[in-house]
Amino acid sequence: MDEDSVLERCHRDVDSMVGRRALLREGWGMSTSNGRLPLSKSLFEIGVFSAAVNVLLLVPPLYLLQIYDRVLPSSSMNTLIYLSLFSVAGLAVLGILEIVRSLYANRLAARFDARLGSAAFLAAMNGPGAGFGDVQPLRDLATIRTFVASRSLFFLFDLPFGPLFLVLLYFVHPLLFAITLVGVVIMVIIALLNQAVTGRSGREAGDKLAATMNAAQTFARNFETVRALGMVSSIIEFWGDRFAQSLRASDKVARNNAFYSGLSRTVRILLQLAALAVGAYLVLADEMTAGMMFAASIISGRVLQPIDQIVGNWRQIAETGQAWKESPRCKNRSSAKGTPMWNCPRRSER
């Protein structure tokens, strides 16, 4: 294939993508006429599996409830056996759904690469930093792919089911509902503080690391010239200084995130203990049974756990959000004159 045909094909591919508004939103609305499912449908299916997983997570508290309130008072061995069999079956289905959900997430991450990798590569080749080895569009895509394939995505899917568990707690006892709701508010405040403190510093740390790696690529590509000019020591010192700045920025982000993650986990455990203590008080006051006390403690933990996990993984979530916001520029990034930076040259322009 000659050079002209390659350039024509390249430009045709670019023109077909420029009409879309953003690179990483390209796959969301695609039809299934080509036999490939839209990315939005894959996310919907992960949501369906997440709903089933969260429903089956009620098996342990229901099992405890039945053990304390039905099996022990009646001393029925048959009831214990049947309850145990049903619970084991439910947990087996839960395990299968978790496996399928993880497989779906990995397939979705691979689909991101398959659908958008070529466009991101094209944007990296024609971006303003291409001559310096800057492949930021590919890094953005890799960041999103890693997030989609991780369990952090599941925490976001589990979060909307918190209100369902809160409603269940209200029917168990309004006081337990109120305690858990206060805990949710406290943990949301912690999450917002974490975002406010680490958001900007996280972006700065990412930018410094990217600049450091780009500088290393540039120096490596021109090493013969650098060595001929006797500048190796100066270049090493220059790069080491930039790398040290990047490490300090990353360490600051890690410290802040570790603090808020530890605070969130401590608050969650304390609130679960508080729910258990209040439940014990209500049992002593004959307002609820012992089985309801243990079940309420587990359900309260299920309400708080997704928020706790999101706080603990906030750095990855924030980096993914930043990559998501940056990635549309892979398609429509323009220079100051308004000319797309990544267009392949037409034959008339060569």
258 Cβ neighbours under 8 A, 6+ residues apart: none
Work out the widest C-alpha separation in the chain, in whole angstroms.
Answer: 90
| Cα gap 157→169, rounded to integer Å | 21
> Domain 160-327, what fold?
ABC transporter transmembrane region fold (1.20.1560)
Q: How far apart are CA 237 and CA 81, in angstroms?
A: 71
Angstrom distance (rounded) from CA 275 to CA 49: 29
Say if residues 271 and 179 touch (Cβ distance below 8 Å). yes
Is 338 within 8 Å of 215 (Cβ atoms)? Answer: no
Q: Give the count of beta carbons closer than 10 Å to the beta carbon of residue 73.
A: 10
Structure-token pair, residue 149:
């394939």
- The angle that helices 174-221 and 290-312 make with each other, rounded to 10 degrees, is 20
Q: What does the pLDDT profile of the chain (350 residues) look like in tens digits?
A: 444 443 444 444 444 433 333 444 444 333 344 434 456 777 788 888 889 999 999 999 999 989 988 898 888 899 899 999 999 999 999 999 999 888 888 888 887 777 777 777 777 676 655 555 556 777 777 778 888 888 888 888 888 888 889 999 998 889 999 999 998 999 889 888 887 877 666 667 766 776 777 677 666 767 777 677 777 777 777 777 777 777 777 777 778 878 888 888 898 899 889 989 999 999 999 888 888 898 888 998 888 888 888 887 777 777 777 777 766 444 444 333 343 333 333 334 43
Cβ–Cβ under 8 Å, residues 60 and 97: no
Beta bridge partners of 106: none
Q: List the domain boundaries for the chain.
A: 1-30+37-150+336-350, 160-327
d(CA 125, CA 114): 18
